[in-house]
Structure 1
C-alpha cells in the first residue's frame, strides 16, 4: 500500500531536526533517523510532500515510526466517500433525538436497539429521522450491537457513534480525508464536552480531563505512544478492514482491543483533533465514579488478549534503577540516581556518533526519559497500585512521603496543563477520585481473573 502523490505529512511536535538537517530525532520509541542528501531535499521546512516513489517511501516510514503526521486539511476526500452511520443504543430516546439531528441527510443510518426496556420510544425516534431500526431481543452490549449493525453495512465506510454524542458538520468529512492513506483502517475525532448552561464541578473536570479526550495534537494510535488507544464512542472505519468486528465477549475495553488487533495486522489508526465530537459527560459523582471503575475493569481482559501491550508502566532497565533509587530515600539515593543519569547520557551520546551537539542532545533525551519514568511511577502510586500505597503508608514514613509528593506534584502539573475551568482544590479532589475509581476497577478485574498481569509493570530495552 503506497501513499498517493499529493499526500502531505508534517513532522510531529516531538520530532527534532538535528545535525544541520541531516538527521531527525523522535518517534515512539525515540530513534535517530539519518537522512541522505536526497531525502533532505524532499523536505520543505518540517513538511514532506509526496511527489514520487522515494518521497512516498520516506513519508510512509515516518508515519510508521510516529515521527510525522498527515496534514489532514491538505488531503483529498476518498474517491467513494459513502458511509453508513451505526448507532448502538439502549433506551436514551432524548439523546438519540439529539444525535440523529446532528448526523445530517444523505447517508444511511442504522439504529441498533440493544434490548431497550422501552423499545417503543427508540423505534419512534428512529422512524421520525428516517433511520433503519434493528431491534435486538437480548442485551449484547456495545460490541455486539455494533457488530449487528456492521453486518448490514454495504458502503465503503462505516461510522460508529454512541447515542450520547453530538456530531459537528465537519466531523465525518474531516476524518474521511485520512483514508487517502491506504494503510489507515480507522480514524477517530477528539471527544470534547457537550456545552452546558450551568455545568457541575464534575462536568468542568471532565471537560478538561475526560478519559475519552486524547488531547489537542494529531497522532498515530500505537502502543507505547502518547495516544496508545482510541475510543469508539465516535469512529470512522473502512468496512472491509474490520473483518470480524468487535470482540463480543468484552463489555468494556472492546475499543482498545480493536485498535490493537488492527495495528497487529499492519493497519494504521489515526487520531485527529481537528475533527471534534461532543460527549454528554456524567453530572453526578456516583455515576461518574462508577463509569471510571468500569473502565478499569477492562484491564484484565485486555491483558489476556494483548499481554505485550497492557502494562500500567513500561520502564527501561536504567529508568527502573533510577526510580528504585529515588523511592528508597536513602543517603545514597541521590548519588546513585546521578550516576545512572550520567551513565545513560554518556551511552546515548556515544550512540549518536558524530551528530552535532550530541552531548546536549543526549542530556535532553535522558532528561525526557527520566521525567517519563517519574510520571509513570507517580501513576503507579496514585492510580494503579493505590491499595498497596495505602497499606505502605500505614507502615512506612518513606511511602507516605513518596505518595504525598506524587499526588501533589501530579495535581500541580496537570492543573497547569489542563487549564481547567475549576479551582485547584476541587480539581485536585476530582483527580484523586478519578484515580481511586479507575484503580479499584483494575484491581477488581485482576481479582476476578486471578491474575496480576494487568498490575505488573514491564521492563524492556
Structure 2
C-alpha cells in the first residue's frame, strides 16, 4: 500500500545521532545506516530544529526522513482512549491481573477491557478480578496459548484500535496517550512502548540487575521505525497498540514463540509503518531466578528457525557487505599478511564508496574556510568573543573515509556477537583444536562483553559489576545459542545459522 499523506501540523525532529554534512546536503544515520542526499529545496525546509508539515512537499519530506530513521515523529492529535480496547490474555495469574488492571484504570479510566481466561485452573478468581475492574471476560475451556488468547480478545473488540497487554506488565502514566499520538499518521499500523523492568522496591540480584539493563524486551531509549534487520527489528507483544485494519489474521497460533515478530513483519510487509516510542513506558516483571531466566532465553532462541522459514533473509546471525566480510575473515586469520590484505581491501572499498557517493561534476575533495566564534573569556555577565579561523573539509572522499571504518566497525561488532551467541557451539569445537580460534573466541567474549557493560552500566559501577555483567551476558548468549541450534534441528533448517553476505536489505 502507498503511504497516505501526513496531516498538516505533523512534526518530525532529527535524531541526535544523525550526522549532517556538506552544509546539510547529506544526512547519514538510521539503522541500518543510510546516506540521504537532499536537494536545495529540501535543505531550506530543514533550517530549523524540526520540520512541520504544512503542504504536500513537507509531508513527503517528513515521510522520507522518518521512514529512514534519521528523524522521528513527535506525534499529533491522534485517536482517543474511546477508540481503544485493551486485551489481556491470562492463565492463573489473578494477582498479576489485578495489579495490571489497577494500573490500566489509573492511566486510562474509561477504556474498554477484555480479559481472555486461557483455561485457568481457577476461573472464578480470574472472573472476580476482571469484573471488579469492569472488564469483560471471555474464556477458553482449555489453554490454547497467549496467541490464541489475543486473537480471541481481538475478535471480541469493536473499536478501531486494540492494545495488547500481558498480565505481567504494569503500564506507567501517559503510556497510552503517547502511543495514540503516532496513530494520527494513517500509515502507522502498530506502535509500541518501551518495556522496562518492574520493581517492587526489593533488592536486586545478578539476574534482575542484568535484565533491568539488558532485557530482550527492552529495545532502548531511542525512538525508531520498526524494520527487520535494524536496531529495532521487532516489538514484543507484551505491550503494543495495533490498528484493527492492519491486524489481519492476527497472531499465528501455531507459533508458541516469536509470534509477535512474525505479526509485525507481516504487517510491515503489507505496507504499514510501525513505530517504537520509548517515551511511553510499560514495566514488565522479569524473571529473577537463574534457571527460569536461562530457560526463557533458550526458548527465545528456538523462535529463529520458524521465523527464518517464514521470513527468508530477515534473521541471519550477521548481515555484511562482501568487502566487510572479506576484511573480517582476513583479520580472523591473524597473520601479518592477512592483516595487510585486510587493509588493502578496506582501502579499495573506501575508494569505491567515494566513487559511489560522488555526484556528476562534484569535486572529490573541497577545502573551504570556516569562521566560527569561540568564547575565550567570561567575566560576570559579560562574555568576550574572538573569531577563530579554520577550514572545513567536505566531499565524497572524506565522507567515504568516515563511512568505511564505520561499516567495518559494525561488521566486527556483528562478528564478535555471532561468534559468542549464534555460532558458539561451532566456535567451542574449533577452540579445542585451534589456538587462533581460541584467541579469537576469548577476545570476542571479553571485548564484546566489556563494551556491552560500558554501554549499559549504571553510573559509578566498578570492576566487580563489570565482571558480573559480562558473566550474565555470556550466559544469556549461551542459552539463546543453545535454543537457536535446537530449534534449527527440530525444524530441519540451517537458515538461521547462515550469514547474509549480499550487502543488500532483506527485501532485495
Shorter-chain TM-score category?
A: over 0.9
Match of 1:285 in 2: 290
Q: How far apart are 1:81 and its partner, in Å? A: 5.0
| Superimposed CA distance per residue, residues 148-200 of structure 1 (whole angstroms, 9 cap, x where no aligned partner) | 00001111211000011001120011100001111100111011101232122
- Distance in 2, matches of 1:161 and 1:27, equals 29
| Superimposed CA distance per residue, residues 340-365 of structure 1 (whole angstroms, 9 cap, x where no aligned partner) | 11111111112221373432221211
CA contact (8 A) 2:330 2:341 kept: yes
The structure with the larger Rg is 2
Alignment of 1:350-361 (within 5 A): 350-353=355-358, 354=362, 356-361=394-399
| Superimposed CA distance per residue, residues 93-125 of structure 1 (whole angstroms, 9 cap, x where no aligned partner) | 111111000001201111111111222221221
CA spacing shift, 1:455–1:342, aligned 2, 3 Å: same
Match of 1:430 in 2: 472
Indicate the SS of the match to 2:314.
coil
Q: How far apart are 1:259 and its partner, in Å? A: 1.1
Match of 1:162 in 2: 166
Indicate the SS of the match to 1:213.
coil
Alignment of 1:387-402 (within 5 A): 387-402=425-440
Gaps of 5+ in 2: 365-393, 504-508
Match of 2:83 in 1: 82
Q: How far apart are 1:60 and its partner, in Å? A: 1.1
Indicate the SS of the match to 1:423.
helix
Match of 2:187 in 1: 183
Alignment of 1:115-264 (within 5 A): 115-195=119-199, 196-264=201-269
Alignment of 1:376-455 (within 5 A): 376-420=414-458, 423-455=465-497
| Superimposed CA distance per residue, residues 16-42 of structure 1 (whole angstroms, 9 cap, x where no aligned partner) | 212112222233443332222221111
Aligned length: 459
Following superposition, which runs of at least 4 residues in structure 1 exceed 4 angstroms of deviation? none
Q: What TM-score results when the alignment is normalised by the length of structure 2? A: 0.88
CA contact (8 A) 1:81 1:156 kept: no
Q: How far apart are 1:130 and its partner, in Å? A: 1.5
Match of 2:26 in 1: 23
Q: Does 1:4 align with 2:46?
A: no
Match of 2:69 in 1: 66
| Superimposed CA distance per residue, residues 240-263 of structure 1 (whole angstroms, 9 cap, x where no aligned partner) | 210111111111001100111111
Moved more, 120-129 or 159-168: 120-129
- Distance in 2, matches of 1:13 and 1:67, equals 9
Match of 2:379 in 1: none
- Distance in 1, matches of 2:482 and 2:49, equals 44
Moved more, 186-195 or 122-131: 122-131
CA contact (8 A) 1:81 1:176 kept: no
CA contact (8 A) 2:229 2:315 kept: no
CA spacing shift, 1:79–1:57, aligned 2, 3 Å: farther
Match of 2:382 in 1: none
Q: How far apart are 1:298 and its partner, in Å? A: 0.4
- Distance in 1, matches of 2:342 and 2:329, equals 9
Indicate the SS of the match to 2:292.
helix
Indicate the SS of the match to 1:387.
helix
Indicate the SS of the match to 2:36.
strand
Indicate the SS of the match to 1:153.
coil
| Superimposed CA distance per residue, residues 321-374 of structure 1 (whole angstroms, 9 cap, x where no aligned partner) | 011101111221210111111111111112221373432221211111111111
Q: Does 1:348 align with 2:353?
A: yes
CA contact (8 A) 2:190 2:243 kept: yes
Match of 2:377 in 1: none
Indicate the SS of the match to 1:113.
strand
Moved more, 419-428 or 100-109: 419-428
CA spacing shift, 1:320–1:46, aligned 2, 3 Å: farther
- Distance in 2, matches of 1:413 and 1:443, equals 26
